[in-house]
A and B are shown apart, each in its own frame.
Chain A
Amino acid sequence: MGSSKNSEDVLANTVDSCVADALIKLGGGLITGTLFSLLLFKRKSWPAVFGVGVGAGMGMSNCHYKLNMPYLVGADMIKAFRRNNVNQIGKDSS
């Protein structure tokens, strides 16, 4: 199943993308760390780990962002009114 448009599958897709992304990030981080460790840091483990961590963190951050994306308030969601009325934050059905 690809990305289905069903709302109940959005999460799964997100999580999937998250995971994929995190893995990619991990791998990338790992690779980068490894590389760094190999190259720069004389085969110490800590750059790899650091890289993995960075990768994981990035992955997590992306995941966080993806998961929170529906809740983020964009400029297009705000309706501007005159001074009399209270500025209402309307949420369109996005």
Chain B
Amino acid sequence: MWKAPVRICSQSKVSLQNGRHIIRRNINSRKSNQISGNKFLTIAGTAVLATVGGSVALAKTSDGFRKFSEKNIPGSSFLYNLLLGPPVSHIPVFTPPVRSLEDGLLKKKLEREASKKTDDVVAVTPTDDLVESPKSSVDSTPLDVTEKPIDDEKTENPIKEDPVGLDNEVKLEENAEVVNDSGSDSSVTEETAAVNLSEMSSAEFETLLKELHAKASEAVKQAVDAQDIAAASIKKHVDLVFKSLEKIYEPGQTQENIWEPVFVATQDKNEAVHVAESRAHEARLAVAQLKEVVAHGLKNDQSIQTPDLITFDESVARALYSLETAKARVDAAQSEAKVMDEYRELVDTARHNLQMELSAIRPDLSPNLKTEGTKLGEEEVNILMAHAYWKIITLQKELAKQQSREQQRLKGALDMQRKEDFSILESRLRVELERQYYELKAKYNQDISFHEKTLSDQFTQQLKLQAAAYTDHLNDSLKTQYLELKRTFEAERELDIAKLAALHHEDLAKLHGMGKGIQDAIHDRAEKDRISRQVRELWIAAQSMMDSLRSNATVHLPWNEQRRPLNLNGLNQALNNNDEFASAVLESIPQSAVSQGILPQGALKERFQNVERVCRRVALIDENGGSVLRYALSYLQSMMVVKVDARPPPKQDEEINLAELNTFDILARARYHLEKDDLEQALRYMNLLKGEPQNVATDWLRELRIHLETVQAVNAVMTYAAVQAIESM
């Protein structure tokens, strides 16, 4: 209890202290070149040659072998074609029958008629044997020699019909030539005038064809009818003549009786024949026209458009045939007429001769011997009888002669007849063949046209199909090609684009990077600036707080009223709650500081003075407590201990025995440190107090602790802010 004062007294100072042909080897040259003796080659060459020659010979004779070898051996066809010529088929080819002069000439004439389409003069006159239109009678006599009888028959002169007959056919050629070469003008040119078939359209062509066909058929019909009529009339005439010739010797018939019907019949016949001839001529012309047009149409392949063409062709042939047959009938009748004429002529001649002879004997005898029954005298009868007898003898002789010559003549006649028959037969046959040929041809043409049509239809259909398929195929291929091309080009384009894009992107990336870098730098800078500003604000706030806390300035207020609650607003504002550390630190500040307040440093120091005073007074009271006496004694002690203002602390190295320190020491040191503003040291020392001084200093210590905590926090914040400020710079 007395240690402390003793020590204090002893001690002088109390100090207070803050990212095939087959090669032919030329054996000779080979032999000459290779004299070393290639016998093998020689033999081989010979063998090859033999094979080739044998095959060629065999192919020549045998078609089968030729075909076989051509099929199987590649080069053989060339060889055969070279040596033998193309393969010839031996099947007979159907050729149209050879025409006689007549038909050939008819054809020729028609062709020439057809060839003369325009206003050129047309040989009108047909090449028929007997017929010639009366208009052509103007021509020269060599032309009309055979035709004139038509006109002259009106006078019924049989003599002139002599040349008419079997010579007609011989003279046809001359006629034809003359007719064709005469180029006689006729008014019939109108029928074949100025029709240019090749310039017509198909419709016009058709109508023309139809017209012509109608005209031709009608003309043909008329001609046939007329010719039939003519034939009939001729027959009638012949019959009549025969009858008249018979009748003429019958009594009671006048010449007019007999001959008039004959005359009439002759006239009729003439007319009929004339009409027939003209009609036939017209018909022939019409048919020729039609034929020409049909031929033209066929030539121009208009058969498909005008299917009637074939029928027209056929009808043309038929018409021609009918014309021919009618003509043949007329010819037959006329030949009969000829025969009849001859017969009559002969009869007349005989009669005339007889008449003459009889008149020589008896001139007064009238020709009408049979009619008159005049009596004859004996002399006359004898003379007559003698004449008759002589006549009979003569006639018998002649008969004998005739009979003897009959055979020959018969033979000759038969031969001639046979020849005629043959020629007629030939002509008939030819006509028939021609008709059949035309029929066949027409049918063939029909068939062909039909087949053509069907085939062409099929063909067009197939073509359409093919065209459709082809177009589809084309479309498909075009599409695929288009797609492919598109793909290729797109790929290329993509590549290029990718390249360009890559380049661009590179640049962009670079720029972007740069921009971003700049931006980031700027942002960082801005951020740092902001942070630094904030931090500076914080620092400023903390600094201000520190200043306020640490201010030694004794404010006018006593320390008690200097307590004010810690105003952290400034700090909080400065923080903006962004800083975890600072906010944590600020949270560590005791609540009592915020609520009740803190004493600033000056206040604390001021308070310490009081505390020190009291502590000195109770310095003697330790933990065990004290009585009043002790309290009085401690008070007395405190009055005696000298209060030293400042006591420098011992040096750093010197150890202080903390247990030895008494209150006054502690207080002195604490005071020293307080004066130095070293609150922590003061606190440390003050914590050493024991006993009653400790109790006394409790509040102050608490305040000091709070203060120090706050100061520490603020210091931390300030340091943090300073560091951040430095960082941000």
Selected interface stretch from B59-67, B278-286, B570-578, B697-705: B697-705
A94 to chain B, nearest CB (A): 10
Residue on B with the closest CB to A12? B614
- Please name all residues of chain B whose beta carbon is closer than 8 Å to the beta carbon of A64 when the two chains form the complex: 627-628
Mark out the residues of chain B between 377 and 396 whose CB falls within 8 Å of any chain A CB in the assembled complex.
none
- Please name all residues of chain B whose beta carbon is closer than 8 Å to the beta carbon of A70 when the two chains form the complex: 625, 695
- Please name all residues of chain B whose beta carbon is closer than 8 Å to the beta carbon of A60 when the two chains form the complex: 628
Selected interface stretch from B184-192, B309-317, B543-551, B616-624: B616-624
Alpha-carbon distance between A9 and B696 when the two chains are bound, in angstroms: 8
- Please name all residues of chain A whose beta carbon is closer than 8 Å to the beta carbon of B624 when the two chains form the complex: 71
Q: Tell me if B554 counts as interface (CB < 8 A to partner A).
A: no
Mark out the residues of chain A between 49 and 83 whose CB falls within 8 Å of any chain B CB in the assembled complex.
60, 63-64, 67-68, 70-72
- Please name all residues of chain A whose beta carbon is closer than 8 Å to the beta carbon of B628 when the two chains form the complex: 18, 60, 63-64, 67
Alpha-carbon distance between A8 and B697 when the two chains are bound, in angstroms: 6
Alpha-carbon distance between A18 and B695 when the two chains are bound, in angstroms: 18
Alpha-carbon distance between A63 and B692 when the two chains are bound, in angstroms: 15
B670 to chain A, nearest CB (A): 14
Interface string of B606-643 (1 = CB under 8 A from A): 01001100110110000111111001000000000000
Prevailing SS type, chain B contact patch: helix
Given A11-B614, A12-B614, is A67 in contact with B625 using a C-beta cutoff of 8 Å?
yes
Alpha-carbon distance between A72 and B442 when the two chains are bound, in angstroms: 163
Q: Tell me if A6 counts as interface (CB < 8 A to partner B).
A: yes
* Contact-residue size bin, chain A (C-beta under 8 Å from the other chain): 10 to 19
Residue on A with the closest CB to B614? A8
Given A8-B611, A11-B614, is A71 in contact with B697 using a C-beta cutoff of 8 Å?
no
Residue on A with the closest CB to B630? A67
Contact A11 B700 (CB under 8 A): no
Interface string of B676-709 (1 = CB under 8 A from A): 0000000000000000100111111000000000
Alpha-carbon distance between A9 and B623 when the two chains are bound, in angstroms: 18
Alpha-carbon distance between A93 and B624 when the two chains are bound, in angstroms: 16
Contact B695 A7 (CB under 8 A): yes
Given A12-B614, A60-B628, A63-B628, is A7 in contact with B697 using a C-beta cutoff of 8 Å?
yes
Alpha-carbon distance between A12 and B615 when the two chains are bound, in angstroms: 11
Alpha-carbon distance between A12 and B696 when the two chains are bound, in angstroms: 10
Interface string of B581-618 (1 = CB under 8 A from A): 00000000000000000000000000100110011011
Given A11-B618, A12-B614, is A71 in contact with B696 using a C-beta cutoff of 8 Å?
no
Contact A8 B627 (CB under 8 A): no
- Please name all residues of chain B whose beta carbon is closer than 8 Å to the beta carbon of A67 when the two chains form the complex: 625-628, 631
Contact A8 B623 (CB under 8 A): no
Residue on A with the closest CB to B631? A67
Alpha-carbon distance between A7 and B696 when the two chains are bound, in angstroms: 5
A20 to chain B, nearest CB (A): 14
Interface string of B321-348 (1 = CB under 8 A from A): 0000000000000000000000000000
A53 to chain B, nearest CB (A): 15
- Please name all residues of chain A whose beta carbon is closer than 8 Å to the beta carbon of B695 when the two chains form the complex: 7, 10, 70
Alpha-carbon distance between A15 and B628 when the two chains are bound, in angstroms: 10
- Please name all residues of chain B whose beta carbon is closer than 8 Å to the beta carbon of A18 when the two chains form the complex: 628
Contact A11 B617 (CB under 8 A): yes
Contact B626 A11 (CB under 8 A): no
Alpha-carbon distance between A31 and B584 when the two chains are bound, in angstroms: 65
Partner of A5, one of B614, B617, B627, B699: B699
Alpha-carbon distance between A11 and B624 when the two chains are bound, in angstroms: 16
Alpha-carbon distance between A12 and B697 when the two chains are bound, in angstroms: 13
- Please name all residues of chain B whose beta carbon is closer than 8 Å to the beta carbon of A10 when the two chains form the complex: 695-696
Mark out the residues of chain B between 417 and 459 whose CB falls within 8 Å of any chain A CB in the assembled complex.
none
Interface string of B30-66 (1 = CB under 8 A from A): 0000000000000000000000000000000000000
Mark out the residues of chain B between 480 and 504 whose CB falls within 8 Å of any chain A CB in the assembled complex.
none
- Please name all residues of chain A whose beta carbon is closer than 8 Å to the beta carbon of B699 when the two chains form the complex: 5-8
A85 to chain B, nearest CB (A): 23
Contact A8 B696 (CB under 8 A): yes
Contact B610 A68 (CB under 8 A): no
Alpha-carbon distance between A12 and B614 when the two chains are bound, in angstroms: 9
Mark out the residues of chain A between 18 and 72 whose CB falls within 8 Å of any chain B CB in the assembled complex.
18, 60, 63-64, 67-68, 70-72
A93 to chain B, nearest CB (A): 8
Partner of A8, one of B625, B626, B631, B700: B700
Alpha-carbon distance between A63 and B696 when the two chains are bound, in angstroms: 17
Alpha-carbon distance between A11 and B693 when the two chains are bound, in angstroms: 10
Given A8-B610, A8-B611, A12-B614, is A68 in contact with B696 using a C-beta cutoff of 8 Å?
no
- Please name all residues of chain B whose beta carbon is closer than 8 Å to the beta carbon of A8 when the two chains form the complex: 607, 610-611, 614-615, 696-697, 699-700
Which of A7, A9, A10, A60 has most chain B Cβ within 10 Å? A7
Partner of B623, one of A11, A63, A71: A71
A58 to chain B, nearest CB (A): 12
Residue on A with the closest CB to B703? A6
- Please name all residues of chain A whose beta carbon is closer than 8 Å to the beta carbon of B607 when the two chains form the complex: 6, 8
Which of A6, A18, A72 has most chain B Cβ within 10 Å? A6
Contact B631 A7 (CB under 8 A): no
- Please name all residues of chain A whose beta carbon is closer than 8 Å to the beta carbon of B697 when the two chains form the complex: 7-8
- Please name all residues of chain A whose beta carbon is closer than 8 Å to the beta carbon of B617 when the two chains form the complex: 11
Residue on A with the closest CB to B694? A7
B689 to chain A, nearest CB (A): 11
- Please name all residues of chain A whose beta carbon is closer than 8 Å to the beta carbon of B696 when the two chains form the complex: 7-8, 10-11
Enumerate the 4 nearest inter-chain pairs by beta-carbon distance, A residue then B residue, closest first: A71-B625, A7-B699, A68-B625, A7-B698
Known: A8-B697, A63-B628, A68-B626. 4 other contacts (CB 8 A): A5-B699, A11-B618, A18-B628, A70-B695
Interface residues of A (CB under 8 A from B): 5-12, 15, 18, 60, 63-64, 67-68, 70-72
28 A–B contacts, CB within 8 A, in A order = A6-B607, A6-B699, A7-B696, A7-B697, A7-B698, A8-B607, A8-B611, A8-B614, A8-B697, A8-B700, A10-B695, A10-B696, A11-B614, A11-B696, A60-B628, A63-B628, A64-B627, A64-B628, A67-B625, A67-B626, A67-B627, A67-B628, A67-B631, A68-B625, A68-B627, A71-B624, A71-B625, A72-B625
